[in-house]
Amino acid sequence: MSYVHPEYLVETDWVAQHLNDPNVRIIESDEDPLLYAMGHIPGAVQVDWFSTLQHPLRRDFLTKEQFEEVASSLGITNDTTVVFYGDKSNWFACYALWLFQYYGHQNVRIMNGGRLKWEKENRPLVKEVPSYARTTYRAREADKSIRAFRDEVLVQSNARKPLVDVRSPKEYSGELLHMPSYPQEGATRGGHIPGAVSIPWATAVNEADSTFKSADELRALYEGKGIKSDEEVIAYCRIGERSSHTWFVLKYLLGFANVRNYDGSWTEWGNLVGAPIER
């Protein structure tokens, strides 16, 4: 069985062949923003998840108008094919893609394997920062059908509808408030949302080269935990980047019709007064 929407995934060979394609914009989005300066795919621009995509004051995304400014400054038109890649098996690449989808950009791709696979294949990395002619980008109104908010998550939990906790097992159990080897901060309580099943995001990728596992392996992974494609599913993590990776897997690789990312995730839920928590 193949992926349901393979058109949302491109291989490194495809990217190498389209480095000079004016209709393609390659975007690097990393957890570590310094990686881009150390070397990036020729022609790639940087979109930092925090400084570029987040509102400077509210814990929220850019407004529609601010997003239009970012896209315009990167020379992106409404018809541009935007290819995302990054470190950590494309965590923040998927996060950036999800936000582009949130504001209506449909022509998006993930480069399978991200930085790791590109580097393993000894493909070129450059330090030159490209500039592109400014465009006038027009975003759509936010597509809230792909984003879950805390009150909706509570309804989902109370109804015992599918919730996928994609964090590490010790975050799910409440032993940790953040991933292993990271500062334990961001929430005052540990545990998981009642009814959520634990399916760590990393189980969806091959450790050797950060590529996605096969469709059959992915289907077995999620269906084995009772997550079915005909149900409404909400995924969450700590700040929304790991769960956007799972959102991409469920929506495009497995073809789930109704899957949402709860980007408030544990930094919101673990700090909410009165929010139910299981351990």
Which residues are catalytically annotated?
237
Token pair, residue 90, equals 């494309």
Q: Judge contact between 183 and 222, C-beta under 8 A.
A: no
- Spatial neighbors of 6 by CB under 8 A, at least 6 apart, are none
Q: Judge contact between 196 and 231, C-beta under 8 A.
A: no
Q: How many CB atoms lie within 10 A of CB 226?
A: 9
* Residue 258: half-sphere exposure toward Cβ, Cα within 13 Å: 8
Q: Judge contact between 235 and 243, C-beta under 8 A.
A: yes
Return the closest-CA partner of residue 111 out of 226, 15, 6: 15
Token pair, residue 33, equals 């923003």
For the chain, how big is the Rg over CA atoms in Å? 18
